[in-house]
């Protein structure tokens, strides 16, 4: 390798615990079938989005794979005739959207390999099991006396963790389970320190930690061998399932939810707190406590997967404590995970929310006070108690632990490696704080967008209300005019009279706007009448008969040219003036009453 050549990363940078959202944006017909365009987003930020095209048959295949969970998933039914109708496709799109929502909102379904490979084929369509078997074979090649017998089903929730049945020549009758896991995004130890930590873990001793038979690390991941336990984990006991069944079948929709007794919860909780205190005293980061990592052996807790912290894999409850900025240290993470574990032991079912608002009425008061101090909204805002605070709580302090003479707590880590572990812990906490800041900023952005959209909606509502009011006024005006028409018809008023009345009203309105008074208008009318416009009087005096419209003003024709007399022009001024005076006087003195009446034969 060249001096300045960048070394390729040997860890998985994708966090499998990040939330996934799916939205069916559109559909189109191609080659005689319909494809749906789905926009997928990982995490809270829109820059990590991609689009996939899926047919209805792809949904059917996914549905058949998820049936092992036993959950009642509703997939839109098939249709042979009319399945290309746009109306039917739109209805199917809505049904498929509900189906996807039910998957991504369920932590068991969304963490399964069929769902992940459907949503993100670019990152989850690899042959994970075949690659893991190759890594296990290479890791065991240098270990004498160990061999792989057969792979086990996916009994755990992690997609990149695989289990195998292995055999040791030194103990041929003993059944061993080996787990292989790839390095996660929070792996910060180099190969030298990683080997030193794994050497120390192989020699760890503690009455409440499950012993490790063999642990190896390579440049890709780690292999850890432990003896199998017939009863399985604490979660298997609570759900009443068989340990060797697949994770999807065991925990998708378990038939039994058996909570523990109060005495058992207090005893197991006290033992778990003792283990967590021991790990923190040794500066070994953990953060992976849940009922699936606990073995119950002769009324004793045995903690599993204590190596996960240095391997850098994400925590099972990471999506929950990412929402609370006061949960940022490794101790607060362990306390928060302890609260979820305590809740599942108490009620027999996991808590699918980040906080708890209420409890059943039969919950024991001391136990409720412990849960409130960890999982209540006030506790998550103000800060969680420490492990020492919980050990002094009356619910746990009264428990007396019985130890055997052979029980001892031992974990020796070199000082140089311990300093590196402290740096790893600080890096884990820094990444968590940064992501929590980004989540909060994204939440604020979403709230602002909601406020803006609500303001726009209010504006639309106000505009719509104004339009409706305007339409109502127009309808009322039309109704008033129709009623007036009916009254006018009964009173014998014609359209011309109404038009004249409307014109006069409009003229009045215009005059008011222009500042013209009635007196001005009368004066204007009188002046205009004196200029030569005359209105003949009415021939009838009936009040019901409408008066005819005023006659248009007479236009006086221009005078004829002056006559020629023996080649001389007579005086035009005098003759024209006399003729005009005679005409005006005859018009003004005209009287209809003097006309002679004629009889029609």
Give me the mean pLDDT over the 212-227 stretch: 94
Q: Are residues 111 and 154 both part of a single domain?
A: no
Give me the mean pLDDT over the 335-361 stretch: 93
- At residue 473 the predicted structure's pLDDT band, cuts being 50, 70 and 90, is confident
Residue 560 lies in a domain: no
Task: Give residue 492's region: left, alpha or beta (phi > 0; psi -120 to 50).
Answer: left
Inter-residue contact 207 to 411 (CB < 8 Å): no
Please give the residue that has the higher pLDDT: either 2 or 170. Answer: 170
Inter-residue contact 253 to 303 (CB < 8 Å): no
3-state secondary structure at position 304:
coil
Side-chain-side CA neighbours of residue 551 (13 Å) = 11
Q: What are the backbone dihedrals phi and psi of residue 349, each rounded to the nearest 5 degrees, phi first?
A: -145, 145
> Residue 507: its pLDDT value, please?
62
Please give the residue that has the higher pLDDT: either 566 or 340. Answer: 340
Give me the mean pLDDT over the 482-507 stretch: 65
> Residue 567: its pLDDT value, please?
44
> Residue 543: its pLDDT value, please?
42
> Residue 48: its pLDDT value, please?
86
Residue 215 lies in a domain: yes
* Residue range 72-88, pLDDT digits in tens: 999 999 888 888 889 99
Please give the residue that has the higher pLDDT: either 304 or 255. Answer: 304
Inter-residue contact 312 to 449 (CB < 8 Å): no
Of 171-175, 342-346, 388-392, 511-515, the range with the lowest mean pLDDT is 511-515
pLDDT higher than threshold 80 for residue 201:
yes
End residue of a domain, out of 103, 123, 143? 123
Helices (H), 407-539: 415-491, 495-514, 518-530
Please give the residue that has the higher pLDDT: either 508 or 417. Answer: 417
* Residue range 297-307, pLDDT digits in tens: 999 999 999 99
End residue of a domain, out of 69, 97, 123? 123
- In the block, tokens 């940022």 appear at 328
Give me the mean pLDDT over the 478-501 stretch: 70
Give me the mean pLDDT over the 468-472 stretch: 85
Spatial strand order of the sheet with 221-227 comes to: 146-151, 161-168, 171-182, 221-227, 214-217
pLDDT higher than threshold 90 for residue 574:
no
> Residue 541: its pLDDT value, please?
42
- At residue 597 the predicted structure's pLDDT band, cuts being 50, 70 and 90, is low
pLDDT higher than threshold 50 for residue 525:
no
Measured in whole angstroms, the distance separating CA 507 from the mean position of its chain's CA atoms is: 61
* Residue range 117-154, pLDDT digits in tens: 999 999 998 899 999 999 999 999 888 889 999 999 88
Cβ partners under 8 Å of residue 323, min gap 6: 354, 436, 439
> Residue 2: its pLDDT value, please?
42
Residue 114 lies in a domain: yes
Measured in whole angstroms, the distance separating CA 160 from the mean position of its chain's CA atoms is: 27
- Residue 569, strand partner residues: 564
Q: Are residues 266 and 279 both part of a single domain?
A: yes
Residue 168 lies in a domain: yes
Q: Are residues 324 and 256 both part of a single domain?
A: yes
Q: Are residues 220 and 350 both part of a single domain?
A: yes
Q: Are residues 271 and 236 both part of a single domain?
A: yes
DSSP one-letter code for 421: H
Q: Name the residue range of residue 105's domain.
A: 20-123
Residue 545 lies in a domain: no
Please give the residue that has the higher pLDDT: either 256 or 51. Answer: 51
Residue 193 lies in a domain: yes
Q: Are residues 313 and 426 both part of a single domain?
A: yes
> Residue 180: its pLDDT value, please?
96
Q: And the tokens for 101?
A: 């929502």
Of 14-23, 244-253, 493-502, the range with the lowest mean pLDDT is 493-502
* CATH number, domain containing residue 60: 3.30.1520.10
pLDDT higher than threshold 90 for residue 309:
yes
Q: Are residues 442 and 384 both part of a single domain?
A: yes
Q: Are residues 116 and 167 both part of a single domain?
A: no
> Residue 527: its pLDDT value, please?
44
> Residue 453: its pLDDT value, please?
73
pLDDT higher than threshold 50 for residue 530:
no
Cβ partners under 8 Å of residue 108, min gap 6: 69, 71, 157, 247, 248, 251, 252
Of 79-83, 375-379, 435-439, 529-533, the range with the lowest mean pLDDT is 529-533
- At residue 509 the predicted structure's pLDDT band, cuts being 50, 70 and 90, is low
pLDDT higher than threshold 80 for residue 528:
no
Q: Are residues 258 and 404 both part of a single domain?
A: yes
Please give the residue that has the higher pLDDT: either 60 or 582. Answer: 60
Cβ partners under 8 Å of residue 356, min gap 6: 343, 371, 372, 375, 376
> Residue 496: its pLDDT value, please?
55
* Residue range 270-282, pLDDT digits in tens: 999 999 999 999 9
Q: Are residues 220 and 88 both part of a single domain?
A: no
Residue 463 lies in a domain: no
- At residue 576 the predicted structure's pLDDT band, cuts being 50, 70 and 90, is low
Element (H, E) at 164: strand 161-168
Side-chain-side CA neighbours of residue 210 (13 Å) = 25
Residue 70 lies in a domain: yes
* CATH number, domain containing residue 232: 1.10.510.10
> Residue 162: its pLDDT value, please?
95
The CB density around residue 445, as the number of other CB atoms within 10 Å, is 13
Q: Domain tally for the chain?
A: 2
Q: What are the backbone dihedrals phi and psi of residue 390, each rounded to the nearest 5 degrees, phi first?
A: -70, -35
Q: Are residues 289 and 394 both part of a single domain?
A: yes
End residue of a domain, out of 394, 421, 446? 446
Q: Are residues 108 and 239 both part of a single domain?
A: no
* Residue range 263-272, pLDDT digits in tens: 999 999 999 9
The CB density around residue 491, as the number of other CB atoms within 10 Å, is 8
């Amino acid at each position: 390798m060249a001096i300045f050549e960048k070394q390729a990363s040997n860890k998985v940078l994708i966090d499998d615990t990040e939330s996934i959202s799916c939205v069916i944006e559109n559909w189109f017909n191609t080659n005689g079938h319909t494809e749906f365009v789905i926009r997928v987003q990982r995490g809270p930020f829109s820059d990590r989005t991609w689009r996939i095209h899926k047919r209805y048959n792809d949904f059917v295949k996914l549905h058949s794979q998820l049936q092992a969970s036993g959950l009642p998933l509703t997939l839109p039914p098939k249709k042979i005739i009319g399945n290309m109708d746009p109306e039917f496709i739109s209805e199917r799109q809505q049904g498929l959207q509900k189906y996807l929502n039910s998957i991504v909102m369920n932590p068991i379904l969304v963490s399964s390999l069929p769902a992940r490979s459907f949503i993100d084929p670019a990152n989850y369509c690899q042959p994970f099991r075949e690659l893991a078997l190759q890594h296990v074979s290479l890791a065991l090649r240098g270990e004498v006396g160990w061999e792989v017998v057969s792979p086990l089903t996916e009994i755990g929730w992690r997609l990149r963790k695989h289990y195998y049945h292995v055999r040791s020549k030194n103990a041929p009758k003993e059944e061993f389970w080996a787990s292989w896991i790839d390095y996660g995004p929070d792996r910060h130890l180099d190969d030298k320190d990683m080997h030193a930590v794994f050497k120390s873990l192989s020699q760890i001793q503690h009455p409440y930690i499950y012993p490790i038979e063999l642990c190896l690390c390579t440049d890709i991941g780690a292999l850890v061998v432990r003896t199998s336990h017939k009863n399985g984990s604490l979660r298997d006991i609570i759900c009443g399932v068989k340990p060797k069944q697949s994770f999807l079948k065991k925990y998708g929709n378990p038939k039994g939810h058996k909570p523990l007794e109060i005495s058992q919860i207090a005893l197991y909780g006290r033992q778990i707190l003792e283990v967590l205190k021991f790990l923190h005293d040794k500066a070994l980061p953990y953060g992976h406590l849940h009922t699936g990592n606990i073995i119950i052996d002769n009324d004793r807790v045995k903690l599993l997967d204590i190596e996960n912290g240095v391997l850098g894999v994400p925590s099972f409850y990471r999506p929950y404590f990412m929402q609370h900025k006061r949960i940022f240290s490794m101790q607060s993470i362990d306390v928060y995970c302890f609260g979820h574990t305590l809740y599942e032991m108490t009620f027999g079912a996991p808590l699918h929310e980040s906080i708890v608002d209420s409890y059943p009425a039969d919950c024991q008061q001391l136990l409720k006070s412990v849960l409130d101090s960890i999982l209540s909204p006030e506790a998550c805002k103000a800060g969680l108690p420490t492990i020492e605070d919980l050990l002094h709580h009356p619910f746990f302090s009264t428990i007396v632990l019985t130890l055997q003479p052979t029980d001892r707590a031992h974990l020796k880590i070199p000082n140089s490696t311990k300093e590196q572990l402290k740096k790893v812990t600080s890096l884990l906490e820094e990444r968590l704080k940064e992501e929590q800041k980004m989540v909060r900023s994204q939440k604020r952005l979403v709230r602002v967008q909601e406020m803006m959209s609500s303001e726009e909606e209010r504006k639309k509502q106000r505009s719509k209300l104004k339009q409706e009011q305007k339409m109502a006024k127009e309808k009322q005006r039309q109704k008033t005019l129709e009623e007036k028409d009916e009254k006018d018809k009964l009173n014998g008023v014609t359209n011309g009279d109404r038009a004249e009345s409307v014109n006069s009203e409009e003229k009045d309105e215009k005059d008011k706007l222009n500042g013209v008074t009635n007196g001005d208008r009368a004066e204007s009318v009188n002046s205009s009448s004196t200029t030569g416009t005359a209105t003949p009087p009415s021939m009838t005096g009936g009040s019901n008969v409408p008066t005819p419209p005023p006659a248009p003003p007479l236009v006086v024709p221009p005078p004829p040219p002056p006559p020629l007399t023996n080649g001389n022009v007579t005086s035009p001024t005098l003759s024209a003036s006399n003729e005009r005076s005679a005409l005006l006087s005859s018009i003004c003195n005209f009287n209809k009453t003097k006309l002679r009446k004629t009889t029609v034969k």
